[in-house]
Structure 1
Amino acid sequence: MSEWDTIRLEIEDDVATLTVDRPDRLNAVNVATLTAMKEALAEAAEQEAQVVVLTGAGEDAFVAGADIGYMQDLSTPEAQAYAELGHEVADAFETFPGPTIAAINGYAFGGGCELALACDLRVASENAVLGQTEIDLGIVPGWGGTQRLARLVGDELARRLVFFGERVDAQDAHEMGLVGDVVAHDQLDGYVADMAADLAAKPTYALEAAKEALNQVQEGDLDSGLRYERRLWSSLFGTHDQREGMEAFVEDREPEFE
């Protein structure tokens, strides 16, 4: 099995657990991490894992978002490439042959929330906090959030979450339909493991067919929406608000937008 510096992949009893392992950065994902995740999902499929669980290392974060320190000075073409890579990883979770479960054990902001949205099922620790927080960085969700969020929680709620960059706790996220279950923090791993084991015991081909059919319900014009989102997201790089929003974040101060 392959090894990576910023993630861990463990496959046991047909369940692949992919852990983003950057706890010192709240599991924020950079290019190397996204590339490793893409490779790990391909390996899980090659090893015929029937279920994938995505989670984050440590006690504080699932995936706190994309690496803003990396993003702040990207040109538009570089941002486009980064968006493409983020979409490739999100799409890999969405199209993985078997069910994918996001075990949200802490902060899930921006790109982290988008990766959770790309999974089939979401289970949150009572300590989890979720949000599409990009607006306060002078950008918009760029890894599928503008498209998948509305499909999951409805247009009105999605607009509120994206426009305000609101952070919601696990219980509110559950009431919105953003997550399917909320469990005690110390019970999350066991709860998700039981769920994954139950799914892995189902008929493989029937489960794959069920996922493919359910994904078709969401198709509509999703691909064109996702392409548009990538172009829109990357076009914001180089604007004053994007530079100011990310510099303020890195410098731990309030931004001064135009």
Structure 2
Amino acid sequence: MTESATGMSRPPVHTLRSSPAYWRVTFDNPPLNLYDPEVESALAGIVDRLIDDPEVKVVVFDSAVPDFFMAHLNLGRIEEFGEGMPTWFALIDKLVRAPFITVGSIRGRARGIGNELLAALDVRFAAKETAVLGQLEIGTAIIPGCGGMQRLPRLTGRARALEIIASGEDYDADTAGLYGWVNRSVPDAELDALVERFAQRIASFDAEALAAVKEILDEQYPQPSAESLAVTNARCSPARRFRNGCAGPLRRRRR
């Protein structure tokens, strides 16, 4: 059963309830799948619904826009997100702490906040021919401020995270798989079947056992603290840069 996130004829985020245990969340904000305030509002509402549903065991996030999973934050509307992007951090905190398993099915480009969303999910699968991941912020003299600085090293290790963030380059699916950034890179023709099999298998298992798996793994590999995320976001954030003309490099700390 397909459900819309809002009353719009073409909502920017919509859901498919494949079964009580298995949901899909699809980003549909052409042409670039930018992270707009409307996307944020719709996504926050969907996350709340998922959290409130005790039957949900697995949620797959994908895109209806072939060339873009999510291009990046819409910087032209940065003021509309609020100082410190409180809605973003609240919904991501709910996702990472949710008892259900979250899965990214990646086709097209996932840069900036698009990659930061994927890094906050539990599992990621990417289409070999089309998936492109990156943190492009350094090119505008800012840093990833929505979790990338904290979560990317948990996936790739420090050295590769530094390479990705400091270069601002795009990385293909095979390289992302080699780096541990995604779980697996597979041919595009095989991606849907892989994700579907994985999600359906999880949906068949015991909910308490799945929740325990996430909880114990997060104890061993802790999620970043709210304080760390807030400090990083505040340090020459996109909002401050574009509001106050922060065009130069970040202030260097004295040693």
Shorter chain as denominator, the TM-score bin is 0.7 to 0.9
Identity of aligned residues (%): 30
C-alpha separation between the residues in 1 aligned to 2:240 and 2:220? 30
Secondary structure of 1:55's counterpart equals strand
C-alpha separation between the residues in 1 aligned to 2:166 and 2:113? 16
Give the alignment of 1:163-174 within 5 angstroms.
163-174=166-177
TM-aligned CA distance change 1:86 to 1:221, over 3 Å: closer
TM-aligned CA distance change 1:207 to 1:70, over 3 Å: same
C-alpha separation between the residues in 1 aligned to 2:18 and 2:174? 31
Give the alignment of 1:67-82 within 5 angstroms.
67-71=74-78, 74=79, 80-81=83-84
Q: 1:133 deviation in Å?
A: 0.7
Please say if residues 27 and 65 of structure 2, whose CA atoms lie closer than 8 Å, have aligned partners that are also in contact: no
TM-aligned CA distance change 1:11 to 1:69, over 3 Å: same
C-alpha separation between the residues in 2 aligned to 1:228 and 1:27? 27
Secondary structure of 1:80's counterpart equals coil
Secondary structure of 2:221's counterpart equals helix
Secondary structure of 2:154's counterpart equals helix
Secondary structure of 1:66's counterpart equals coil
1:183-239, CA deviations, whole angstroms, 9 ceiling, x for partnerless residues?
Answer: 111322221111111111111101101101112223276332112112212443435
Q: 1:22 deviation in Å?
A: 0.9
**Residue type of the partner of 2:205?**
K
Structure 2 residue runs of 5 or longer lacking an equivalent are 249-255
Correspondence for 1:37: 43
**Residue type of the partner of 2:103?**
I
Please say if residues 87 and 143 of structure 1, whose CA atoms lie closer than 8 Å, have aligned partners that are also in contact: yes
C-alpha separation between the residues in 2 aligned to 1:222 and 1:159? 20
| RMSD of aligned Cα (Å) | 2.1
Structure 1 residue runs of 5 or longer lacking an equivalent are 244-258
Give the alignment of 1:1-258 within 5 angstroms.
3-4=5-6, 5-13=11-19, 14-24=21-31, 26-47=32-53, 48-71=55-78, 74=79, 80-81=83-84, 83-126=85-128, 127-219=130-222, 222-232=225-235, 233=237, 234-240=239-245
1:19-78, CA deviations, whole angstroms, 9 ceiling, x for partnerless residues?
Answer: 011132x2111111112111112212333211011111121111111113323xx49xx6
Please say if residues 112 and 136 of structure 2, whose CA atoms lie closer than 8 Å, have aligned partners that are also in contact: yes
C-alpha separation between the residues in 2 aligned to 1:79 and 1:135? 22
TM-score, with normalisation over the residues of structure 2?
A: 0.86
Please say if residues 56 and 105 of structure 1, whose CA atoms lie closer than 8 Å, have aligned partners that are also in contact: yes
**Residue type of the partner of 2:125?**
V
Structure with larger RCO (C-alpha < 8 A, sep 6+): 1
TM-aligned CA distance change 1:221 to 1:123, over 3 Å: closer
Please say if residues 103 and 124 of structure 1, whose CA atoms lie closer than 8 Å, have aligned partners that are also in contact: yes
Secondary structure of 1:11's counterpart equals strand
Q: How many residues align?
A: 237
TM-aligned CA distance change 1:163 to 1:189, over 3 Å: same
Q: 1:79 deviation in Å?
A: 5.4
TM-aligned CA distance change 1:220 to 1:109, over 3 Å: closer
Please say if residues 84 and 230 of structure 1, whose CA atoms lie closer than 8 Å, have aligned partners that are also in contact: no
Secondary structure of 2:182's counterpart equals coil
Please say if residues 11 and 44 of structure 1, whose CA atoms lie closer than 8 Å, have aligned partners that are also in contact: no
Please say if residues 109 and 132 of structure 1, whose CA atoms lie closer than 8 Å, have aligned partners that are also in contact: yes
